[in-house]
Amino acid sequence: MDKSAGTAIEPFVDADRAAQFLVITRRRLLELARAGKLPGHGLGEGKRKIWRFRLSELAEAVVAKTPPLIHSTEVSSSPAVPGNRIGGTR
């Protein structure tokens, strides 16, 4: 880290390191960054950008849960009914 002027500058990391930090695939990380759901810095013009990330920004996004990173599995709120394959008896 550069400590010039008494301030530590956090380095950027590539998509592989950022994905490893979040324990997700590189592909999913890039999808979330492109959609604006994760903080990322796209470098370059056009469709094929080089993405760089700061681990502190990713950690803040996960802790704040804004936006949510993981889609929850939907659970039926309907009561178990006989004959219903989920939760019922047959």
Residue 72 pLDDT exceeds 50: no
pLDDT tens for each residue of 73-88: 555 455 555 555 555 5
pLDDT tens for each residue of 30-52: 999 999 999 999 999 888 899 99
Residue 66 pLDDT exceeds 80: no
- At a CB cut-off of 8 Å and minimum separation 6, what does 82 contact? 88, 89, 90
Q: What is the pTM of this model?
A: 0.63
Question: In what helix (H) or strand (E) does residue 43 lie, and over which residues does it extend?
Answer: strand 41-43
H-type helices in the chain, by residue range?
Answer: 15-22, 26-34, 55-64
Residue 18 pLDDT exceeds 80: yes
